[in-house]
Amino acid sequence: MRALGWVALALLVLASCSDSPSTPTRFAVPSDTSLVVPGSATGPTRITFVSADPRPNTSVSGCGSDARGCPGRVRMVFRLTPSATGTALGFVASLHAPSKRACFVASTGPFTLRAGEALSLQVVLDPSDDCPTPVSISDMAANVEGAVEVASRQEWTIGYTFAP
């Protein structure tokens, strides 16, 4: 019985120590948004980068001699938060090489935005040009195209490498 008392006491002491400052903590894995730096923005609709698969700052291999060998390899999610209600003709996102050449593009059809109601969009970026590999991606842009009430643009710094 006495041994059980010591075990219970030891467990109680260990449990109370688990909140102490010396307890090791796990390092947080950076979110996708920490790997993407917002740049200039225009228009009444806020365009926010949410996530990507694969994560930014990774290398995508197996593309062949140019980016056309990597269709459908990058998926991204964006959140649109409009300040006004209006019809968008579409949404376009693009990944650019340092030369500003758009190597990958995604687009949607028309949709309606309502003031203050966030809308999440998932898009698949496909090659838009024959950017020779390896190609480094340095920035990204997204546009809400449509009526003045919703038309907007957002730019980011982002990194990817597409390799043969």
Helix/strand/coil (H/E/C) assignment for every residue in 2-38: HHHHHHHHHHHHHHHHCCCCCCCCCCCCCCHHHHCEE
Tokens of 118: 């966030």
User: What integer is the mean pLDDT of 1-24?
Assistant: 40
For 35-162, the fitting CATH number among 2.60.40, 2.40.128, 1.10.10, 3.30.420 is 2.60.40
Q: What is the pLDDT of residues 103-147, one digit of tens each?
A: 999 999 999 999 999 999 999 999 987 899 999 999 999 999 999
> Which residues, at least 6 apart from 164, have a Cβ–Cβ distance to it below 8 Å?
61, 62, 63, 64, 65, 69, 133, 134
Q: Are 54 and 95 in contact (CB under 8 A)?
A: no
| Residue the block writes with tokens 């390799």 | 163
Q: Which tens digits make up the pLDDT trace of 35-44?
A: 899 999 999 9
Q: Whole-model pTM?
A: 0.78
Between 35 and 7, the higher pLDDT residue: 35
Q: What is the DSSP letter of 147?
A: S
Residues counted in the chain: 164
Q: How many CB atoms lie within 10 A of CB 137?
A: 25
Largest Cα–Cα distance of the chain, in whole Å?
79
Mind listing the pLDDT tens digit for each residue in 86-95?
999 999 999 9
pLDDT of residue 33: 57
Give domain limits for the chain. 35-162
